[in-house]
Amino acid sequence: MLVALVEHAGEVVDKDDLIARVWPGLTVEDSNVRAQINAVRRTLAEGRTGENYIVTVPGRGYRFVATVSRSTGDAAQAFPAPHKGHNLPDRLTRPIGRADIVAMVSSRLQRGRFITIVGPGGIGKTTVALAVADQLIASYKDGGRFVDLAPLNDPQLVPSALASVLGVPIRSENPYPALTSFLKDKQMLLLLDNCEHVLLAAAELAEELLKGAPAVHILATSREPLRAEDERVQRLPPLETAPVEAGLTVMEALSYPAVQLFVERASASAGGYELRDEDVPVVAQICRRLDGIALAIELAACRVDAFGVRGVASRLDDRFHLLTRGRRTALPRHQTLRAAFDWSYDLLSEVERVVMRRLGLFAGRFTMEAASAVAGDDEIIASEVDGVVADLVEKSLVIADVAGATVYYRLTDTARAYAQKRLTEEGETQAVRERHALYQLDLFERALAEWETWPTTEWLSAYAPQIDDLRGALDWAFSPGGDPGVGVELTVAAVPVWFEMSLMEECRTRAERALATLGESTKDERRRMHLYAAVAWSQMYTTASARDTGAAWATAFEIAEGLDDTDYRLRALWGMWASRVNRGEFVEALKLAKRFSSVAEKTADINDRLLGDRLTGASLHFLGNQSSARQHIERMLAHYVAPVRRSHAVRFQFDQGVTARITLARVLWLQGFATEALRCVENNVSDALSINHRLSLCNALAQAACPIALMAGDLLAAERYTKMLLYQTASDELDIWRAYGRCFEGELQVKRGNLAAGLQQLKVGIDELRRARFVQYLTTFLGALAEGLAIAGDALLAKTAIDEAIGRNEQSEERWCSPELLRIKGVVTLQRDASQAEEDFLASIELARTQEALAWELRTTTSLARLLRDQGRVGEAYELLAPLYSRFSEGYETNDLKIAKGLLDELSGQR
């Protein structure tokens, strides 16, 4: 078997091919193959380096990965004898994913003589150092020596440890003359391993040897630099981890060193474990949560035999209890994850320990200001903290990101978990969490003020990454030992962050929690007003809108009246208007729009008055008055100047320019300007994407882009916009718009002829909108369902659907789509009563003319002309359709106009 693999070194040898080669003509079970492969591995592990030679390629076979030397002559060449001038320990594992850094350190060491490999515990410093030594040892005439400093408790014994390895007797209190005398004419590599607890002594030894022995090179490992003369530092990064994403294949995952290490170690301990496609995201998550630290990944892999990969992943919250089974022959601090961190922690000064465990409360990145506020107290002054943090960075326990204008710091997930455990053991958690919450309150109150003036992208980049720390602070504030007053203030300050990040459901639950804490107290009326507005805002586009958002807005308005707060009067009026629109109460919505305009007249901000125009224009559009609607919207867009501050995006939920163009695009299409409407939609979606505001984008897609593309018959654009909408609403926070997306997808399927799938999807989306009592656009979805059912030949269900649509339409006065519903009623009726269908078509045309909705008029006139043609009334049909078609000045590439032109050509020929 070994010969079969080596002959194809570097290539995957298929299992079937391997069986045919080794056991020709026999039937062999896969388990036998695995057993023989494991036997070969055990045999090869007896070699000097302990390399892992064979890699399992799941589902395919095996690959021999070690370097193979081939004879160039007829006779085999003798292999060179192994170099005996060293005491380097045998490596039991191969360094995975470290080839580049081994090459880099090797090159730097040959040029610079003294390199220290630095990194946190368990990251693989010794493994890399030994790989470097193996690669370079033959180039040193006198070989090399490995000196393990870990067992030393007394720094004064460091020179003696080297002397013992070299066999040099020390006969005086000063050991350096004897060492330098022995090494001065030697060409040798010294590997000083685990220097972190004897830094000063190791630095002194290195400096003395470099001065007295010019051909000696030193390679050291430590958790922080020795800070010795001529030292060059090589920080060892974590192993690269695979992204946790759907669709990543086994082969793709195994290209990442962290995953490869996990699989190899799991295979060795769990009887030939092989990575499967369904395990890939779980293994990737394990490696990421363990920060790419080699020791942690190895320890986790060793627990696969007991818990499986999913069991290991589920237990990582208590990783220090889980990861406790390292190799018995390993150093004690490498046998458990806790021991590895204890080793580093015990080497810290007392003040460093205090600061490190307090920094563990930060869920993500933090600034030095934040560190000082949370880690400092009466005993550790804030000005002292920054120096301690810098020391922790040097000791590889804190990571610094110095790339940007602001320096950010963070602990790895594993270091954070260790610090929190230590914080709990020291009984400091409550006091530190209180300081953390107070700092978050100060931070987000600052964010609230800066949101008024900062560009959105800059503001979000500064504050969005703090969301996990915000959550932690709120959890503490409302816990039994917390401070609910801080929690209420922090909730109010955080509302803009939730809305800019479109975290609607989180905002609702947090605001409701804060309201429950406040109760009916009148001394906190302003906070109650803010929180009621936040609750109402956040549930408007989820199925939570089945709760009466209008009531929450009315309460906010009542409080604003009592406080004489014009800003929140406007916010609440906008919210009550939007609630009426969402519920299909358009006459009441128009009244609220005018009331908004009346209050806005008293403000100094002209944009507020223009927003009154937008609300009025949108209300008139839904009521079927397209001409007046367009006047209001165009006046708003002509004079509205988007504020530098983001107030209008959060005060009124959406970017107002994007939202106004939604109504404009709909009106343009209805008035017969389809190409202009599609162009408006495309530009609007681009604008919504550029401002990076998910709510505004979803609104633009659901209210204009998807329906207009479908109405214009641009199915490719409709598909693109619908996929975008469904992607943006994949979470539960915007499930109303996700229901819209399902309905649009169903319409698209119907238009493409996939009737069964499309109709089913329409029904599901419509039912969801019914349950949410979210009726805006529901009537048009019912109309699409009715027309699809009619095409499918289900006349009874088609009639039921169109009757419901028209009934809802009459009740809500959503007149903008009334002509289309009458046309669909005619289509449904046509199958049993042509004269009644003609009456429906004529009523639709008359109503479309009244509304100046040229697009609806053309669509229904085409349907009527087709009916007249089928009845032999060709001239009448032509005279009805031709003058209407001539009124269009653009949009000839859209579906309705192409159908009308085709019918006109047919009628002209028949005449």
Q: Is residue 784 a contact partner of residue 751, using CB atoms and an 8 Å limit? A: no
- Residue numbers of the chain with a pLDDT score lower than 70: 31-32, 35, 42-43, 45-52, 58-59, 71-84, 91-93, 246, 270-272, 320-335, 520-522, 541-548, 643-651, 653, 731-734, 774-777
Domain check: are 140 and 58 in the same one? no
Among candidate residues 412, 427, 442, the one where a domain is terminated: 427
* Domain-embedded: residue 585: yes
CATH number at residue 151: 3.40.50.300
Among candidate residues 84, 76, 116, 347, the one with its CA nearest the CA of residue 221: 116
Which residues of 389-522 form beta strands (DSSP E)? 399-401, 408-410
* Domain-embedded: residue 282: yes
How far is Cα 747 from Cα 740, in angstroms, rounded to an integer?
A: 11
* Domain-embedded: residue 758: yes
How far is Cα 451 from Cα 496, in angstroms, rounded to an integer?
A: 8
CATH number at residue 361: 1.10.10.10
Which three-class secondary structure state does DSSP give residue 418?
Answer: helix
Domain check: are 717 and 802 in the same one? no
Place of tokens 């919210």: 575
User: What are the b/e assignments for 896-907, b being 16+ CB within 10 Å?
Assistant: bbebbeebbebb
Among candidate residues 235, 260, 285, the one where a domain is terminated: 235
How far is Cα 140 from Cα 88, in angstroms, rounded to an integer?
A: 13
Domain check: are 690 and 666 in the same one? yes
Largest interatomic CA distance in the chain: 124
How far is Cα 432 from Cα 521, in angstroms, rounded to an integer?
A: 30
* Domain-embedded: residue 125: yes
Place of tokens 């009628």: 907
Domain check: are 106 and 227 in the same one? yes
Q: Which two tokens stand for residue 533?
A: 């507005």
pLDDT, position 839: 96
- Which stretch of DSSP H or E encloses residue 537? helix 525-538
Place of tokens 């000196």: 147
pLDDT, position 86: 78
Which residues make beta-bridge pairs with 189? 144, 217
Q: Is residue 316 a contact partner of residue 282, using CB atoms and an 8 Å limit? A: no
- Which stretch of DSSP H or E encloses residue 469? helix 467-477
How far is Cα 389 from Cα 908, in angstroms, rounded to an integer?
A: 85
How far is Cα 698 from Cα 695, in angstroms, rounded to an integer?
A: 5
Domain check: are 580 and 634 in the same one? yes
**Exposed/middle/buried for 887, CB within 10 Å: 0-12, 13-18, 19+?**
exposed
Domain check: are 722 and 734 in the same one? no
Domain check: are 633 and 623 in the same one? yes
| Other CB atoms within 10 A of residue 771 CB | 11
CATH number at residue 741: 1.25.40
Domain check: are 405 and 365 in the same one? yes
3-state DSSP helix/strand/coil % of the chain, to nearest 5: 65, 5, 30
* Domain-embedded: residue 498: no
* Domain-embedded: residue 245: no
| Other CB atoms within 10 A of residue 692 CB | 13
CATH number at residue 569: 1.25.40.10
| Terminal-to-terminal C-alpha distance of the chain | 86
* Domain-embedded: residue 834: yes
Domain check: are 839 and 908 in the same one? yes
pLDDT, position 93: 64
Number of separate domains in the chain? 8
* Domain-embedded: residue 514: no
Domain check: are 113 and 210 in the same one? yes
Q: Is residue 737 a contact partner of residue 702, using CB atoms and an 8 Å limit? A: yes
pLDDT, position 76: 39
pLDDT, position 732: 56
**pTM above the 0.75 mark?**
no
Structure confidence by residue, pLDDT tens digits, 807-857: 988 888 889 999 999 999 999 999 889 999 999 999 999 999 999 999 999
Structure confidence by residue, pLDDT tens digits, 620-662: 999 999 999 999 999 999 998 776 555 455 567 678 889 999 9
Domain check: are 737 and 719 in the same one? no
User: CA 429, 435, 439 angle in degrees (round to 5)?
Assistant: 140
Domain hosting 851: range is 821-911
H helices of 478-605, in order, are 484-500, 504-518, 525-538, 549-563, 566-582, 586-600
Place of tokens 């459901």: 505
Domain check: are 229 and 255 in the same one? no
Among candidate residues 756, 789, 814, the one where a domain is terminated: 814
